[in-house]
Chains A and B, each alone.
Chain A
Amino acid sequence: MDLDRVYRRYAGFVLRRARRLLGDEPLARDVCQDVFVQLVRAPDDWAAISAVAWLHRATTNGCLNLIRGARRWRDFLRRLPPPQPVVPSLSTRLVLRGIPERLQEIAIYYGVDEMSQEEIALVLGLSQKTVSNRIRELRCLLADVDPKVAARTS
């Protein structure tokens, strides 16, 4: 693998996404490096379907793994900037509050990234029907947090 070339092309994208989810520059840089370490170990066809989807998911999971640790979770909550009114998406913190771990990744894609069901299915490698079912389940949970988000049609 020509890691230098792949890094030059995509590292900015990965770092930006990690920064967006974590709101912390040093942690985002850690996640960025972790993602490229995973990439080196990944099968040669990692980008066969979509390089952006692979990196998007790896970054999301890297961030989620980081913030799932109890100690870091508290730090993360303290560091998060308040949601900006011009950004229509929920903050990561709000989306993850009260969401079980198995739905957290899809909650990020749906609540923070406002991705379509087709896009979420592409990133997760699942059928649209499965994604649709999980989003339905998620919306029930999110209704307790923000009815406007729960009502979003995708």
Chain B
Amino acid sequence: MKNLSPCPSEFALERWRFGELAASAEEARLVDHVASCFACRARQAELASQPQPPLDTAEIWSRALGAEPPRRTSRRWWPRAWQGAALATAALSVFLLVARRPAPDVLAKGSWQLGVIAKGRDGKVMRVDPGASLSPGDRLRFEVATSWPKADIALVMLDSAGKISRLAPTKDRSLSIAGGKRVLLEDAVELDAMLGPERIVLVGCNRALEVSEVVASAARALAAAGGDPRRVASLGTGCHEESFWISKVSP
């Protein structure tokens, strides 16, 4: 039987191949056409046989996140005890200096900010951007600001193993902060050995929060996102949420 319908575009064939037209009228038309069109069957076979480029996602992640060059694990951080003590003191000073340095941007009315300050195992301290590559053993501190007059906050971290960690406060009642200024939280956390993406979520509310409820909400949201912290859009707490994700990689 002669096929009178026009040949589908390669775009349509690709969408079909990747299952994007499943159970649609377009798919039915396409199936009918390809069944009776030798040229389209040949194109379809050609598309299916396209060679796969080598898998090099490490470089892609590195470029996407603007990561620093890989750290040399063989490097000795503290060659001698006295040098170690001196460097530790210097690093602590820088850490406190950077942590207390206000971020340059202005807080807009009704807005929230969550800042993350990291201290690497090499003692380097820096403010990090969302998506930054960090390593197990790096220590994090958090800075929160809100334009609300006051607020109660809780900070949790979701990892790709399905674990929810309380970052601040460590007790069960949420932490009250005053609005209009940046607050450096006292709690610090050391990143564990689990690699992969992690999401830090700040929950801000105009009432006291039970941190265990925030943790339970985070566990539900992570499960709903298939265990991928990057896909968690909201914890569904009914409060304001600010989110920040990092990528934990081997040092």
- The residues in B between 40 and 77 inclusive whose CB is less than 8 angstroms from any CB of A are 47, 50-53, 55-57, 59-61, 63-65
**Residue B231, interface by CB 8 Å:** yes
B65: which A residues are within 8 A, CB to CB? 40
Q: Are B61 and A9 touching (Cβ within 8 A)?
A: no
Q: Are B228 and A2 touching (Cβ within 8 A)?
A: yes
Q: Are A114 and B197 touching (Cβ within 8 A)?
A: no
**Residue A128, interface by CB 8 Å:** no
Partner of B9, one of A10, A40, A119: A119
**Residue A70, interface by CB 8 Å:** no
B38: which A residues are within 8 A, CB to CB? none
**Residue B97, interface by CB 8 Å:** no
Q: In the complex, A9 Cα to B17 Cα: how many Å?
A: 11
Closest chain B residue to A19, Cβ basis: B50
Q: Are B11 and A123 touching (Cβ within 8 A)?
A: yes
Q: Are A7 and B57 touching (Cβ within 8 A)?
A: yes
**Residue B122, interface by CB 8 Å:** no
Given known A3-B60, A44-B230, contact A11–B52 (CB-CB < 8 A): yes
Q: Are B50 and A16 touching (Cβ within 8 A)?
A: yes
**Residue A15, interface by CB 8 Å:** yes
A110 → B minimal CB distance (Å)? 10
**Looking at chain A's contact residues, is the secondary structure mostly helix, strand, loop, or mixed?**
helix
Q: In the complex, A115 Cα to B14 Cα: how many Å?
A: 12
Q: Are A50 and B57 touching (Cβ within 8 A)?
A: no
Given known A3-B60, A115-B11, A123-B11, contact A8–B53 (CB-CB < 8 A): no
Q: Are B50 and A37 touching (Cβ within 8 A)?
A: no
- The residues in A between 1 and 54 inclusive whose CB is less than 8 angstroms from any CB of B are 1-4, 7-13, 15-16, 29, 32-33, 36-37, 40-41, 44, 50-53
**Residue A116, interface by CB 8 Å:** yes
**Residue B187, interface by CB 8 Å:** no
Given known A33-B63, A40-B60, A119-B11, contact A4–B55 (CB-CB < 8 A): yes
Partner of A3, one of B20, B57, B231: B57
**Residue A139, interface by CB 8 Å:** no
Q: Are A29 and B53 touching (Cβ within 8 A)?
A: yes
Q: Are B61 and A12 touching (Cβ within 8 A)?
A: no
B52: which A residues are within 8 A, CB to CB? 8, 11-12
Partner of A113, one of B10, B20, B53, B59: B10
- The residues in A between 37 and 78 inclusive whose CB is less than 8 angstroms from any CB of B are 37, 40-41, 44, 50-53, 56
Query: Which residues does A use to contact B, with CB under 8 Å?
Result: 1-4, 7-13, 15-16, 29, 32-33, 36-37, 40-41, 44, 50-53, 56, 109, 113-116, 119, 123
Known: A3-B57, A56-B14, A113-B9. 9 other contacts (CB 8 A): A4-B55, A7-B57, A12-B52, A13-B50, A16-B50, A40-B131, A44-B230, A51-B18, A113-B10
Q: Which 8 A-B pairs have CB atoms at the shortest separation, nearest pair first?
A: A40-B64, A12-B50, A115-B9, A16-B50, A37-B64, A36-B60, A3-B57, A12-B52
